[in-house]
Structure 1
Amino acid sequence: MRKFLYLTFLFSFVFSFGFSQNEFSLQTKNGKDKIRFQLINNLIVIPVEVNGVELSFILDTGVSKPLIFNYLNITDSLKIRDTETILLMGLGDGDPVEALRSKNNVIKIGEAIKINQELYAIFDPSLNFAPRLGVPVHGIMGYDLFKDFVVEINYISKYITITNPEDYVYKKCRKCTDLNLEFYNNKPYVRGKVKIDDKEIPVKLLIDSGGSDALWLFEEKSEGIYANNKYFNDFLGHGLSGSVYGKRSKIDEFWLNDFRFKNANVSFPDSTSILYAKQHKERNGSVAGNILKRFNVVINYRKALITLKKNGNFRDPFSYNKSGIEIEHTGVRMVKEENNSFVSDRLVNGSGTESSTSIVIETKYKLALKPAFSIVELRKDSPAERAGLKVGDVILTINGNPTQSLELQDVVQMFYGEEGKRIKLRVDRNGIILFYQFMLESVFK
């Protein structure tokens, strides 16, 4: 029998499953393990083994059960078990997606193993977040790991340390700050404060390591939470049910206990996209990766405590994409590459001795498959749109640099440069090579 469940998703569920009797078991003598991760667009991507298959998951605080997508090519080896079909609906204004709710799966993260794991496997092949991140991503993991371990996140060195709660010892740290966690549907919330138009407003925020922005706030004018006159409408992210749009702006000040952020980025998602996220009526928004990465973090669900210590990212400026372009890794393209070789040609005179040597460069070519980066969103009246760029254009070079030799995040970062920086693009539009240029513009003049 098909069931229908509502979810909110930019990597967060809205319903509760309760505590499971099954727990992760850590197979180390000292009760701890260190796991390396990739930090992509402020998101933590960790290796996770599901039923013996090595995958990559986003580590998201508060997600109730693991979610798997982009798995159709590994279905046979993954062996999803004991399933029933359900429909899931999440952020965005699209249709529900079909999924399998599966039980009795084996999950391994580092040296931590859990059997009888429940997870959700998404059918829809178009639900694939890897193109936005530029690396393979197969799912999301959160609550099951956080409830069983004390989790330390070192955003600078890019590793997490998981420790059995009974083995964890807090170190003396004069520069650390502890904040109490509150839970709703097994998801962690923290109290903070924002300043909007000279008014200080207390807020309750979901800790959302599965979001790449700094802050999301839910507009509520009666509480003084709203976007002021300096904002622009933009694409905010891709949800389970489609794209999410809203307002991007700056906030006067944001506090987490004694930590203060001035002029921080803030997004106000459209109300229709967050209906189910707002089921928790006390919630005012989320604090996400662009804030969290500025600390080394210790999360202890058992003690309902999060410990923050400023790291080297703390004073990084908050910046926006000033081009209006959103790009994705949209497969591969065939590239003709030079392969030069050097040949020595020695000339011999009549006496049999060498008189000179010439060097000849032989140029050969080979065909190689390289990543293709395409424009998938274009902000209205942005510098890129006014220059004539279109959704679907494949970016070949940016400021003379071939994109084939760059990572997706390297390309994206160029659009976050200083106001007035000139951007020159060479693009492929349906087989026609075109050239465009524009200047990066601040939207908050």
Structure 2
Amino acid sequence: MTESPSRPLPTDPAAGHGLPTAPLAALDSAPVEARSVPDGPTSVDRIRAADLHLSDLWLPAVTLDQAALTHNLDRFARWCAEHGVDLAPHAKTTMAPRLWSAQLERGAWGLTAATVAQARVMRRFGVPRVLIANEVVEPAQLAWLADALADPGFEPLCLVDSVEGVRIMENALAGAARPLPVLVELGVAGRRTGVRDPEQALELARTVAASPRLTLVGVEAFEGVFPQRRDDDSPDRVRAWLDRLYDLARRADAEHLFDEAAEVIVTAGGSSYPDLVSDALAEPPELSRPVRRIVRSGCYVTHDDLFMERASPLRSAADDDPLRPALSCHARVLSRPEPGRALLGVGKRDVSFDVDLPVPRAVLRDGERIPLADGARVVELNDHHAFLDLSAPAEEAVRVGDVVELGLSHACTVFDKWPLIPVLDADGRVVDAVRTLF
């Protein structure tokens, strides 16, 4: 499907060499409308050569911190190695092939996709293995999977959670070159997909094992459906629920339901509780096949100031070498219409707001960075305006024309708003850019 990987020309050291050169180079040279750079359309290659600084960008601008990005990529790869788990990061967080390349270079077993459309992009850039974390029942998407199964260099996997879904998949894959590897998904009552009852899950595993079009290769769960916080009983509920994974795998193996698989995959682990998953999977049962333990965290790449900083096991309050926020937004103060209120030129079209509103970090003025530790709070977002409430001492620190540096929450709903994100070094120079493909 693609050329064999070869080493690309040196660019951002975070980018890595985990994917083939040619599609990455083509993406970097392709023009794109990028609203935060002075000239457009532009490309990653042109930005690398332009000698830009943060002060040259059109605001609002979401940027990536080069040092924090590299640190996070390295730190989580080490964490996985220390805990004896493989990583299939949820690549929908960034939909950025150069960041996928960095993750694969650092040892990722494969990538996780939420949709077949995302998996299609991953295959186009040479990703060798993609776990689609859903049951696929769309006829056209199953036709794509049937075609992909003819490619010996690409291994797609997906989930199943119903006999009806299995029958739809069987019919659509009748002409496929090989069976599709699938994992039975365990779910939580009242939440999203997955078999609710362990007995029904075992029955579904029997159905898959009897299918000539599917191969049962493992069991899966997503504990992120529980509240993602550490200050209540949520971690205990997660631990109790995760115990079902090995129990299901053990019972299915006892009935020889994995006989067509080379190994048994047991996977869970979003970005909030990978430590609980690694603990739950620390002592695999003796099965007829080797057990591969996989976590699927995605938000670690950039971490954040709020959501992940509250929940991640590598948050600053819980680890001596924590993940660092790598995403920022810079916005201009447009108006001070009344005491205690400033309006920033940034809104819902630019930053995440589904979990938390942005947090003001500092004012940037005349080369000086003035921290806003107290007295400044974003209380509302319109499409293109942020309402910043101010009290002492921040009241006196914020002026019309200032630039406010904002920390963000939940990277997944930031990346999808920006087709090109500048990467800054410690001096605010634009040293690279990351393309996204949502």
- Return the index of the structure with the highest Cα Rg: 1
TM-score (norm 1): 0.24
Structure that is richer in helix per residue:
2
TM-score (norm 2): 0.24
> RCO higher in 1 or 2 (8 Å CA, sep ≥ 6)?
2
Structure that is richer in strand per residue:
1
